[in-house]
Amino acid sequence: MLLEFYTYKEIKQQPRMWVKAYEIIRERKAEIAAFVHRYIDQNYQVVLTGAGTSAYIGDALEAAFFSTLFRGARSIATTDILTAPENYFDSSSKVLLVSFARSGNSPESVGAVHAVNRSAGSVAHILITCNRQGELAGMKGDNVLTILLPEETNDVSLAMTSSYSTMLLACSLIAHIDSIEAQETHILALSKAVAAAMEKYEEELHKMAGLDFKRAVFLGSGPLKGVAEESRLKLQELTDGSVMCAFDSFLGFRHGPKAVVNGDTLLVYLLSDKAAVQRYELDLIRQIKARGYEMASILVCQSKPSNESVASLEIEIGLPSGMPECYSCVSYIFVAQLLGMFKSINFGLCPDSPSVSGNISRVVEGVTVYS
């Protein structure tokens, strides 16, 4: 039954797509390295941009790029750039704009590129997209580098799954282009671990989706806050808004947003692999568990920090230690993807096109771009 849905196949294909993306980047090493250094060496500001899920790629990577070529990268959504580019750029701005787009046809994706071209003093573009027929992929110029990802990542489903994770990893690989050969070990380990974890925990996530929760909160720190942001969207859009979702950092959640937790709430904890960060995260998890306000909880981690049981379902992904966060953070996303798909089916929806009302569509419609 599950194989009837594009969504299921697109979630499950992700580990294979990551290896394919690595091969694409590695084969173009000389070209990519020359392009990136042409601008990075002149102190161009790296800006990561996209709309919705594509914007959340930047939100995760901004916090993960400190030790890469893209150190100091800033995430600014196309939806913010388009409405007021002057808030971010002026004639003195030198910008390396990295655009993420599944289809490359949304009005904001194309409009933001033109808005930055008009507003900044000097601009170069890295276009990371899954659709070779898209308008974004058709842009040409000496200051344009286009990265076309495997055709399978141009998800047929409304919800972005393999497109999200593969674009995130492609950008991470570009940020490590000078040592691209050494990144193969990380990508192969990531692919193997996530494929095994999806297989191991799929049925448990199916059961968890059967609970009657009406709210869900995803928490993460650093890059995992950006993954929590995307996780929130996946569950909410796949259930056509029937499950209202939120996200936050672990410490930020204490400052008011924790009021959302009640007996109808599922909490999903994306636990950092850093022991110093885990101290803060586990303090909150234990506090919430002691008060027992939530319906259920899911802990997602690389390895359990102790034998203590702190959640209803505990998922261990098991990546090797020492993997850069820009790779390891994406290993957490399958949990929300599968949970959302199963919950969608439980509600009697089609996960490939869950929006019964038509409120949302695969490519955003109805946006007028004003010049």
- Kindly indicate the confidence band of residue 31, based on its pLDDT and cuts at 50, 70 and 90: very high
Going from N- to C-terminal start, the domains of the chain cover 2-182, 185-346
* pLDDT for the residue 70: 98
Q: Are 181 and 26 in contact (CB under 8 A)?
A: yes
pLDDT of residue 265: 97
What does the alpha-carbon distance between residue 25 and residue 22 come to, in Å, rounded to a whole number? 5
d(CA 212, CA 161): 24
Summarize pLDDT for 257-289 with one digit per residue, the tens: 889 999 999 999 999 999 999 999 999 999 999
Homologous superfamily (CATH) for 2-182: Glucose-6-phosphate isomerase like protein; domain 1 (3.40.50.10490)
Q: Which CATH class is domain 185-346?
A: alpha beta
- Encoded tokens for 308: 């203590």
Confidence band (pLDDT; 50, 70, 90) for 105? confident
What SS3 class is residue 217?
Answer: strand
Judge contact between 272 and 224, C-beta under 8 A: yes
**2 confidence band (pLDDT: 50, 70, 90):** confident
Place of tokens 């594009």: 6
Q: What percent of the chain has pLDDT above 90? A: 88
The mean pLDDT value for 65-70 works out to 96
Give this prediction's pTM: 0.95
> Both tokens of residue 185?
């070990």
Helix axes 180-209, 14-27, angle to 10 degrees: 160
Output the pLDDT for position 355.
79
- The whole-number pLDDT of residue 234 equals 98
Report the length, in residues, of the chain. Answer: 371
For residue range 157-197, list pLDDT tens digits in order.
999 999 999 999 999 999 999 999 999 999 999 999 999 99
Binned at pLDDT 50, 70 and 90, residue 3 comes out as confident
pLDDT, position 363? 58
The answer to whether the 2-182 and 185-346 domains have the same CATH topology is yes
4 or 73, which is more confident: 73
Please write the tens of the pLDDT for every residue from 311-363. 999 999 999 999 999 999 999 999 999 999 999 999 999 999 997 866 655 55
Q: What's the whole-number mean pLDDT along residues 229-252? A: 97
Q: What is the pLDDT of residues 119-165, one digit of tens each?
A: 999 999 999 999 999 999 999 999 999 999 999 999 999 999 999 99
Residue 238 backbone phi and psi in degrees, to 5: -70, -20
Band the pLDDT of 109: cuts 50, 70, 90: confident
Q: N- to C-terminal Cα distance for the chain?
A: 47
The pLDDT of residue 367 is 67
- Report the C-alpha gap between 298 and 205 in whole angstroms: 9
Asked if pLDDT for residue 74 goes beyond 60, the answer is: yes
Average pLDDT on 10-36 reads 98
